[in-house]
Structure 1
Amino acid sequence: MTSPRQQPAAPRAALSFPRQQARTQRFTLGVPRGFSVSPDGERVVFVRSASGADRSHKLWVLDLPPDGAPVERVAADPGTLLAGRAEELSPEERARRERSREGSGGIVTYAVDAAVELAAFALSGRLFTAELRAGTARELAVPGPVIDPRPSPDGRLVAYVAEGALRVVGADGSADRELAVPEDGHVSYGLAEFIASEEMGRDRGFWWSPDSDRLLVARADDRAVRRWWIADPAHPGRAPQEVAYPEAGTDNAEVRLFLVGLDGARTEVTWDRERYPYLARVHWSAAGAPLLLVQARDQRSQRNLAVDTESGETSTVRAEKDPAWLELLPGVPAWAPDGRLVRVTDESGARALAVGERLLTDGTLHVRAVLGFGEDEVLVSASAGATAEVPETGEIHVYRVTDGGVERLSEGAGVHRAVRSGPVTVLVSARPDAPGSVARVLRDGEEVAVVGSYAQEPVISARVRLTEAGARRIPCAVLLPTGYAEGDGPLPVLLDPYGGPHGQRVLAAQQAYLTSQWFADQGFAVVVADGRGMPGRSPAWEKALLRDLSPSLDDQVEALHALAGRFPLDLDRVAIRGWSYGGYLAARAVLQRPDVFHAAVAGAPVTDWRLYDTHYTERYLGTPQDDPEVYAAQSLLGDDGLTAPEEPARPMMVVHGLADDNVVFAHALRLSSALLAAGRPHEVLPLSGVTHMTPQEQVAENLLLLQVDFLKRALGMAP
C-alpha cells in the first residue's frame, strides 16, 4: 500500500523556501520515523505528524496481514488524548528534547514491549499506553511529570521516571510504586546525565531484564558538577536558569548502576569506576548476562563487562585500547543470539565488525552502526571503506553480515537505514535525485508496502554534484545557481561545511542540500567539503584531529583550490558559513586564513574549548590542565587565535542563541570582546529565547535572509 504525498499547503509561487523550510522543520514534518517491527511480522509501528506543517506527531500502526492488503491506522492521537489542550513540557522533558535536537511535539518517542503489542509514551508529563493490536490508547493515573516510560518485555508493567525517582506501574494502571528514590536534589535515578545524552549517544538510564523481573538503573549525582547560569537579557524579570555543565577538565556527574528488583531491593553493580568513570553503553538481552561498556576519562581504553545478576560483580569480557581514542557507535557492544560478543573495532586499521574473535568485515567497508540481529546474521550500516575499489561519495548502505560473507541489502546511490525483526525489514532510503525519503517494508526481501509520507515537496530542487577534490580525495558537493550556464562567468563562493567530528555533510541525499541550493540561487557557487575529522571514510581520517583541529580548516582550503579548476569559482570572493563546530571553523577561517576567506557567518561557534564539555573536548584535546598549549592553539581568543598573515581583517557575523545550554552565549561574547580589542570588524546577532536549535519559524526564516544580506554586503555583491 502506498499513501500519496501531501502537497504543500500553499502554492509553490506563494511560499518562499526559507519560510517553507522553517514551517516544515527542514521538511521533517509528516515523515514517518521511529520504526518498530513486531517479531511475528504482523505490525510496523511508527510516529508521523498529520501533514508537512503539523508539529504534533501521532502513533501509527501498519498492519501486515498475511492474506490481505497492508493497512495504516492511528494507534494514539495526542489531540484526542489531551482533549484538544496544548501540550505542556516539563523542564526535564525540554532538556531531553534539546539533547536529542527534537523540535516537534506530540508523541515524539515511545517504547514497546518485546512482542510490540504495548506502547508507552508521555504527553504533557502524563503517562499513556496504547494496545497496538486493538488500537486503543489510555492514560495511567500516576505521579508526574513522567519521563521516558518503558514497558517490561512481557508487557505487564511500565517503568518510568518522575521527579528523579524510578517508578513502576501495572499496564492496567494498578500498583504504582517507587523503586528508587533520589536522596536529594542532586541525584536522579533512571535518567541519562547531560554528558551521556549530549555526547555519548546514551539517552536512557534504565533497562528491563529479559524476564521482566528487575531492572538495571543508573544513578546520577551531579553535586560535583560546576553550575552555570543562563539568563535571558530580554526578560530581566526572570531568574537565570541553573545548569550543571561539566566543562573540559572539571568534574562530571558521578554515575553508578544498580540491579533493582520489583520490590525495591537493590544490588550495586561494581567495577573500577575511578579508572572507568564513563558508563557508555548497557545491553541486556536473553542472549547473555547484562553487558556494560565503560570507558576511561581519556577515552583511550575501555572494557566490555558482564554483570553477575546475583552479586552485582562484573567480569571483563574484552579490554580495548587505542592510542588516539575509542569511538562509541550505535548498537554495540551486544550479544549475538548465539552468545558471542558483537562489537565494532578499529584494531585492524579499518572500522570493522567483530563477532566473537573474528573480524567479519575488512577495509572495503567502514561500519557505522549495528542495526539488529538475525539467528545467524548481523545487520549493519556502512559506507565504502578506504580500500574500496569504487568510491561512493556520500553513500551509506545497509548490509547483512554472516560468518560466510557480506551482502548489500540497499540498492542504488543514496543514504539508507533499516529496522528489522523476524521476516520484516523497514528500509528507509533517501536519494540524490529526489526529495525526502521512502520507507519500504520488505518481507523476506520482497516489498509488501510503502509507509506513506505526508512531507511537503520543497519549492526548490537541489542540483548537487558529488565529487572528490585534492590529493586527499576530500568528499565534496558543489551546487550552482538554478539556470546557471557555461559562459555565465565565475561566481562568488560560499563554503557551507560542518567540518568536524560526527557531522557528515556530504551525503548522497537531495534533502541534505536544500539550504545550500537556496544560497546558490542567491548568486553563489556553494561548496560543501568533508575533510579530515569527519566520519565515513576510515579511523585514520577521523583521528587526524587528535590534539590539533587545524586539518579541518586546511582541508577546506585544499578542496576550494582543487575545485576552482573544474567549477566557476571566483577565488577573490570567498565566504564561509557554519553552525556549532561549523561556526568555529568559519570564524577560524577568516581569522587565520584571510588570504583565502573574505567573510564569514559563525553560528553558535565554540570559541574557547575550555568552555565546552568534557567527553567531547577531552577526546580530541586532552584536558586544559595537562595540555594548556593545545587549548591555546585551538582557541579563537588571544594572540594564538587572532594571529594571521598581514592581510586585511575580514568581516564576520556572529550568531548565537541566548538560551543555548550546549554552546553557551559566553563563547560569542568572548569572541566579540577579543575582536573589538584587536580592532577587527564584526557583527553580533543575539537570538533571544533560542537554544542550540532554531525551531521557531520566524527566527529560522529570517536568519537565512539576514545571512544572505550580510554575505552580499561583505563580498560587494548586488543586494
Structure 2
Amino acid sequence: MSYVKSLLACAAVGLAGASMMNSVKADDRSADKLTVERIYADPSLTGPAPRSVKLSPDGKRVTFLKGKEDEQERLDLWEYNLADQQSRMLVDSADLMPGEENLSAEEKARRERMRLFAKGIISYYWGDDGETLLFPLGGDIFVYDLNKSGSDATKQLTKTDAYETDVKLSPDGKSVSFIRDQDIFMIDIETGEERQLTMDGEGPIKNGMAEFVAQEEMGRLTGYWWSPNSKKIAYLKVDETPVNIEKRYEINAEDFEVFEQRYPSTGNDNVLIKLGVLDLESGKTTWVDTSPQEIGGETDIYIPRVKWLRDSNRVSFQWQSRDQQTLKLMFADAETGKSHEVLTETSDTWINLTKDLYFLKRHNAFVWSSERSGYRHLYLYDLKGNLINQLTEGDWVVDNLYGVDEEKGLVYFDANKETPLEQHLYSVPMNGEGEIKKITDQAGVHSVSFSKNMSLFVDYFSSVEQPPQVSLRTADGELVTWLEENKLDSDHPYFKYYQQAPKPEFGTIEAEDGQLMHYRLYKPTNMEEGKKYPVVVDVYGGPHAQRVTNTWGARNTYWHHMMANRGFVIFSLDNRGSWNRGKKFEDPIYRKLGDVEVVDQVKGVDFLKTLDFVDPERIGMFGWSYGGYMTIMSMFKEPDVFKVGVSVAPVTDWYLYDTHYTERYLGHPENNQEGYEQSNVFPYLDGLKGDLMIIHGMADDNVLFTNSTKLFKALQDANKSFDMMNYPGSKHSIWGQKTRTHVFNTITDYFEQHLK
C-alpha cells in the first residue's frame, strides 16, 4: 500500500485516546504453551533460515545471509563450499559495525518499501570472477576477496558522512556504482578512485533513483542499470516539480517530525521522467525518446521497467499508460536515443506488471509473459516483436520466469499448474514442441534461484508441515546437498509447540459468479463434543496477495496455532480480487473496492455456519493494511455477521491514495467519482454495532495515520463507540520485537475479551 496525507491533530487523538487491553492470563504464558512473547523472541521458531541465497558464478560456492542465533534480525554473510561441503561465516557484521546502523531518511524509506526490517548485511553481490563479493553496510561499501583471509579479506571502498544507497557491481566486476545525494557515482575497486557521473541531483531532481510510486507500487526499487559490457549506464532522471508538496507528520514518543514530501495523490500530477544512456568514456548522456509520435507522443506515462539487450547497443523500456490499460515494450538505440514499439498489451481493466523479460544469448529472441488469455503465460518473440511460439497455456498461472538453458533448449519457470495452493518449478521446450516437465516434487511452495549457466538451482521450500528448507539441486531436480534441511524434529525450536498445533484444513467455496475460492481453516485444539467456538477470520482480501497456500507462514502461522490452542476457529479465504488465480478472478473489483470482497467473505461465514462446532453469533475479523480496510468495511456493511473486529493500519479514504495504485483499480477520480465514494468506509459507518479496535503506527508513511484519525473523528461525531491503540514512531509494519509483541498481545486480548 502507499502513502497519504497526515494531520498534526493526530498526536492528541493517538496518544491520549489509546485504549489499553487487559493482559493475557499469566497461566496461559507458561513455558509449555505458545505465547506472543515466544513468537517474537530469539532464537526464531522457524529455525535456521538462510536468506538471499545465491550461487557463485563459477558454481563452487553457495552464499547466503544468516541471522545471529541470539539476534535473528542481525544478518552476517556466510558460504557453503561445495568442495569441502562446509558452511562458514565470511563476514561478521558486528565486527565491521559494532553499534546500531544510523540509516539515512532515504534509506529508511527505501527499506520500508522493500518490507526489509533486518540489519547488518542486508544485501550482497557477486563479481563475475567468482572471487569477489560486494556488500553495503552502515552507509558505506565493502568488498570481500575470497583469495584472502582474516581481516585482509574485507576492504572498505567508501568512508563518508553521506549515505551510499542502491549499490551495484559492474558486470565486469571492476567498478561499483551507487547513489549519493541524488546523483550516480562509481568507484574503481582496484584503485579506489571515485567518479561522479551525474551532476544536477538536488531538490526535486533525482538521478538514478526510483520515484515513490515506482518503489511502492511497481516493485522497481532502482533507477539505473549497467549495460552488459560495463561501458554504459541507463538511468532515469526524475523531476518532482509538478507533484504536490504534502506535509507528513511522524509522531514519536517524545516529539514529532514534519516531513515535506512530493506526493502524487490520485487524480493529480505525477513526476516528469526521462530515460538517458550515459557513455562512461565520454561522460555524455543520450536522452531516449520515451514517447515517440508513432505511439501518440503521450508524456503522462509510467516507465516501470528498463533492461538492456545483450548487445549493449540497445536498451528496452516498458511504457505504461496513465490508466494502466496499455503496456508497450519499447527498444531504444543507445547511441541516438531513437525508440520504437516492439509489442503491445492491452486490457479493459488493468495490466499487471511483472519482471518476465528474458533476452536470449544465442538467438535474436526474448521470452515474455502476458495475461492476454486471462492467465499469465510465456511467449517467445523475435527481436522485431513477431511471435515465434506460445510456450505455456491453460487455466493456471505462471508466477516467475527464471531463465533459459539455450544449449538444452529449455525455459524454466514456476507456476501453480496442479493447484493454486502450491508453486512448483517447471521446464518447457523453447521450440514449442514437447510437454511441460514438473521438476520439484515436494507438495508445497517452491521458490528457486538458478546458477548463471542454468545447471544448478537453490530451492527454497516450505509447506504447512515443513518449515523453510534450502537445498541445492541439479536442473532436473536431483538433490546435491542440503544447505539447511531444518527438520521439524525434537531439536527444532518449534517442535514442542507443533505437537500441540492443529493441522489446517483446505477447501473451496463457490462465489456468486461460480468461481471457486480457496479457504484454510484451523479448528480449536482439544475440541469438546457439542461445544460451539468463536471464529476469527484473518483477512487480507486485496489485490496482489494470496493468503491461502500450502506454505509455512512463519509468525502468522504461529499466531493462528496459538489462537486455536486458546479455543478459536481461525479461518482465511482468498476472495475474488486476490492474486494468482487469473484476471477473471481479479477483475470483479475494478472501479469499486470493498464490495465483492465483502460479499465473498460473507459467503465464507455462511459456510462456517454450516459447521456444528462454530458459534454463528461469535464471528470476528482481523486484518492489516488492505485487510484492515476489509475489516472495517465488513463491520460497517455486515454488522449482523461480524461482531468483533481488529483493524491494523487501515485504508479509509481512497482519495488520499497515490496515483499508480488507486487509479489502477478505481480509475481516475474525474471518471469514477461514484466508485470512489462507494469504496470509502465513511458512507457505511452508521452500520457499526459490534466491538471495533483500530491500530495504527503514528509514523506510517505508507497508509498514513490520517486514514485512522479521519475515521476516529467520524465515529466520534456519529457517537459510535470504538477502541484504538496507536504506536509512536512506528511505520506501516509496526516492527520491532517489543512493539510487535505488544501489538499481537493487544489483538489477542481484544478477541479474548469480546469474542469468547
TM-score between the two structures when normalised by the length of structure 1: 0.91
**Which residue of 372, 377, 382 corresponds with 1:347?**
372
The answer on whether the counterparts of 1:650 and 1:680 sit within 8 Å (CA) in structure 2 is no
- Equivalent residue for 1:627? 672
Shift of 1:382: 1.1
2:302 — aligned with what? 278
* Equivalent residue, structure 2, for 1:396: 423
| Aligned-partner Cα distance in 1 for 2:351–2:130 | 34
Query: For structure 1, which segment, 187-196 or 663-672, has the greater mean C-alpha deviation from structure 2 after superposition?
Result: 187-196
Task: Indicate whether 1:532 and 2:564 are aligned.
Answer: no
- Of stretches 652-661 and 178-187 in structure 1, the one that deviates more from structure 2 is 178-187
SS of the residue aligned with 1:703?
Answer: helix
Contact 1:372–1:419, Cα closer than 8 Å, also in 2: no
Q: How does 1:399-418 map to 2 (within 5 A)?
A: 399-402=426-429, 403-404=432-433, 405-418=435-448
Tell me the residue number matched to 2:288: 269
Alignment of 1:39-438 (within 5 A): 39-51=57-69, 53-65=71-83, 69-82=84-97, 84-132=98-146, 134=148, 136-141=153-158, 143=160, 144-234=162-252, 237-263=255-281, 264-272=283-291, 274-275=298-299, 277-286=301-310, 289-329=314-354, 331-337=355-361, 338-356=363-381, 357=387, 358-375=389-406, 376-384=409-417, 392-402=419-429, 403-404=432-433, 405-421=435-451, 422=453, 423-434=455-466, 436-438=467-469
Decide whether the 8 Å contact of 1:30 with 1:54 is kept in 2: no
The residue type paired with residue 426 of structure 1 is V
Q: Kindly state the Cα deviation for residue 443 of structure 1 after the two structures are TM-superposed.
A: 2.9
2:554 equivalent to 1:509: no
Paired positions, count? 688
Q: 1: CA distance between counterparts of 2:510 and 2:43?
A: 35
Preserved contact between residue 61 and residue 132 of structure 1 (Cα < 8 Å): no
Q: Say which of 521, 530, 533 aligns to 2:565.
A: 521
CA 1:669–1:282 in structure 2 vs 1: closer, same or farther (change >3 Å)? same
Secondary structure in structure 1 of the residue aligned to 2:336: coil
- Which of 559, 565, 588 aligns to 2:633? It is 588
Shift of 1:444: 4.4
CA 1:76/1:233 → structure 2, altered by over 3 Å: closer, same or farther?
A: closer
Residues 60, 81 of structure 2: 8 Å contact kept: yes
Task: State the SS of the aligned residue for 1:256.
Answer: strand
Contact 1:634 1:641 in 2 (8 A): no
CA–CA distance in structure 2, aligned partners of residues 23 and 244 of structure 1: 38
1:62 and 1:353, CA in 2 relative to 1: closer, same or farther beyond 3 A? Answer: same
Distance 2:468 2:673 in 1: 46
2: CA distance between counterparts of 1:180 and 1:28? 45
Q: In 1, are the aligned partners of 2:44 and 2:72 still within 8 Å (CA)?
A: no
1:18 deviates by 1.1
- After superposition, the Cα gap between the structure-2 partners of 1:624 and 1:276, relative to the gap in structure 1 and judged at 3 Å, is closer
Q: How far apart are the structure 1 equivalents of 2:322 and 2:47?
A: 39
CA distance in 2, matches of 1:527, 1:368: 25
Structure 1 vs Structure 2 CA RMSD = 2.3
Contact 1:29/1:51 (<8 A) preserved: no
Q: Quote the residue 1:7 is aligned against.
A: none
Query: Per the alignment, in what secondary structure is the counterpart of residue 54 of structure 1?
Result: strand
Question: 2: distance between equivalents of 1:290 and 1:117?
Answer: 29
Shifted more, 659-668 versus 363-372: the winner is: 363-372
Query: Shift in Å at residue 492 of structure 1?
Result: 0.7
Pairwise CA distance, 1:171: 1.3
Gap change, CA 1:71 and 1:312, over 3 Å in 2: farther
1:488: how far off?
4.8
2:454 is the counterpart of 1:440: no
Over 3 Å counting, the alpha-carbon distance change for 1:630 and 1:132 in structure 2 is: farther
Amino acid at match of 2:436: V
Of 617, 620, 623, 1:572 maps to 617
Structure 2 unmatched ranges of 5 or more? 1-28, 292-296, 382-386, 487-491
Partner residue, 2:41: 23
1:710 maps onto 2:750 in alignment: yes
CA distance, structure 2, for counterparts of residue 89 and residue 687 of structure 1: 20
Q: Which moved more, 1:157-166 or 1:706-715?
A: 706-715
Mapped to 2, the partners of 1:547 and 1:420 lie a distance apart of: 40
Among residues 466, 474, 477, which one is paired with 2:520 in the alignment? Answer: 477
Is the counterpart of residue 663 in structure 1 residue 703 in structure 2? yes
Q: Bigger shift: 405-414 or 320-329?
A: 405-414
Deviation at 1:25, TM superposition (A): 10
More contact order relative to length (CA 8 Å, sep ≥ 6): 2
CA drift of 1:566 comes to 4.2
Give a deviation string over 1:447-482, Cα, whole Å, max 9, x none. 222113789537633521121123532110001222
Structure 2 residue matching 1:610: 3-state secondary structure = helix
TM, length-normalised to structure 2: 0.87
Helix, strand or coil: the match of 1:709? helix
